[in-house]
A and B are shown apart, each in its own frame.
Chain A
């Protein structure tokens, strides 16, 4: 893989598409137009190869073996932690905890940090645009502890009303949890500003970064957030592996999550000593090959350059927004000033489910439904939306195919 080119390189999307074997597939006899990356993203060949290579050449357990294979597996496994630390600009490698994905990362914080620090009458603050995985773990915690879940409202464009969020920060707020990028609306939230606001009142912040990491350069030190959760499968890596970034001091003060092997220093029936971070949170044999392949994913994205990737997507989003809003009867849900590549829309008189089925026969994969964000649907008074989401491998031709497809849908239901 080539790295460290000095001059700005053009973003050669056709060449990049060649890296993703699934994009050569057809659906219902039409070339696949994959516009569902916010749901889960496709994988480049280097990631597929990395995972296969582990199983073919050195697969063995980590943190246990004394033999060569195991040492090699452990080295590759731990290398991913270092790659993620640099990718997200965490201060230390031990601040990266491996988990199954964003959902598990948020649950980890709710069950450890939350259970320890939240009591009766305390509050957790979230926004009205959160994914269910950044709502339900807090509801469970609040119910258990007799705490209250507070929700900062969003406006008609799909932006958090910051003044209202600020008002909801009270002396009882124990944590603020907010998405970096909304999966249902595409809004890029002003996370650094939110963190400053919360820190001014001594409130730590968890950021759900599932939709941000694949699309924007993320610097957790610049954001100054306390926790940052993300998933491998949305950033072109394997499913079943993801990460939680946490500031070392916080992680150290937290009780463990799952009990078992690997998370201990010593066990007797009288007393068990927990391992140091991050291992304290990593009980059991992990997703070894997936973790190593996630490292290959980070290498791939780093070589492409997150700035260039973001610029490509921004340009494509502008084009797609222009084309879609020109269509009669189409209403975009989520029109924030700062957005990532999500186009949620509804069509007059046509249910999103019907849109999805008909587009499928044009080879176009989009998501329809509530996108695990039912409160967002309620906020905009729609039962569901159709959502096209963009990623680094999408092109203007994909957008044109979508526009043609929507025309066919409208023709059918005229």
Chain B
């Protein structure tokens, strides 16, 4: 298998896509938003329980490709305990990681990304960027009470 493909479909990503974490509705959700990627048909809903401006819990439901599912799954783990500002800053880092020019991929692996750096392979696949970022756009919409987002 090619090295780019192996970078994209890392074992961690495959694992999260097979067994997504926090894959459920949150009964006590204080915010939620729907995300839709019309071109791929990916649809998901992100649920948040916020307390004093901090993400106490995050979850998601929906259907998508392995990249979007794994990204949503790992996101729900990564944002737990973060403030709104910290969450948005993390999305910016993440977005820089997946949209970096391939030769600059390593410069964008900021330490605060932690496990999320497994998505660095996405930058080799421009058409998959919207898969990896759908959950994050949806999360941002939930934080800002925007309801529905669409990535095209």
Contact = CB atoms under 8 A, between A and B. Distances in A.
A357 B38 CA distance: 18
B41 A413 contact: no
B67 A369 contact: no
A353 B5 contact: no
Which of B5, B41, B69 neighbours the largest number of chain A CB atoms within 10 Å of its CB?
B41
Given A351-B40, A412-B9, 12 more contacts: A350-B66, A351-B42, A351-B65, A352-B41, A353-B67, A357-B8, A357-B125, A361-B5, A374-B38, A374-B41, A384-B40, A412-B1
15 contacts: A351-B66, A352-B41, A352-B65, A353-B42, A354-B65, A354-B67, A358-B5, A361-B1, A361-B5, A370-B39, A374-B38, A383-B40, A383-B41, A383-B43, A383-B64
Interface in A350-408: 350-354, 357-358, 361, 368-370, 374, 377, 382-384, 408
Contacts of A377: 41
B116 to A, nearest CB: 19
| Interface residues of A, dominant DSSP | mixed
Interface string A111-149: 000000000000000000000000000000000000000
A28 interface: yes
Query: How many of chain A's residues touch chain B, expressed as a range?
Result: 20 to 34
B138 to A, nearest CB: 16
Interface of A: 28, 350-354, 357-358, 361, 368-370, 374, 377, 382-384, 408, 412-413
A382 B63 CA distance: 10
Given A28-B2, A369-B40, A351 B64 contact: yes
Interface in B1-54: 1-2, 4-5, 8-9, 14, 18, 38-43
B80 interface: no
B56 interface: no
B14 A413 contact: yes
B127 to A, nearest CB: 8
A369 B67 CA distance: 15
B144 to A, nearest CB: 26
Contacts of B2: 28, 361
Nearest to A353: B65
Interface string B51-88: 00000000000011111010000000000000000000
Which of B4, B5, B18, B131 neighbours the largest number of chain A CB atoms within 10 Å of its CB?
B5
B93 interface: no
Contacts of B63: 351, 383
Interface in B75-115: none
Given A354-B67, A413-B14, A413-B66, A383 B42 contact: yes
Given A28-B2, A361-B2, A413-B14, A354 B66 contact: yes
A353 B70 CA distance: 14
Nearest to A28: B2
A367 B109 CA distance: 32
Which of A350, A352, A354, A412 neighbours the largest number of chain B CB atoms within 10 Å of its CB?
A354
Which of A28, A350, A353, A412 neighbours the largest number of chain B CB atoms within 10 Å of its CB?
A353
Contacts of B67: 353-354
A53 to B, nearest CB: 35
A189 to B, nearest CB: 24
A368 B131 CA distance: 13
Contacts of A408: 1
Contacts of A368: 40
Contacts of B42: 351, 353, 383
Interface string B109-139: 0000000000000000100100100000000
A273 B61 CA distance: 60
Given A28-B2, A357-B125, A370 B65 contact: no
B148 to A, nearest CB: 16
A102 to B, nearest CB: 20
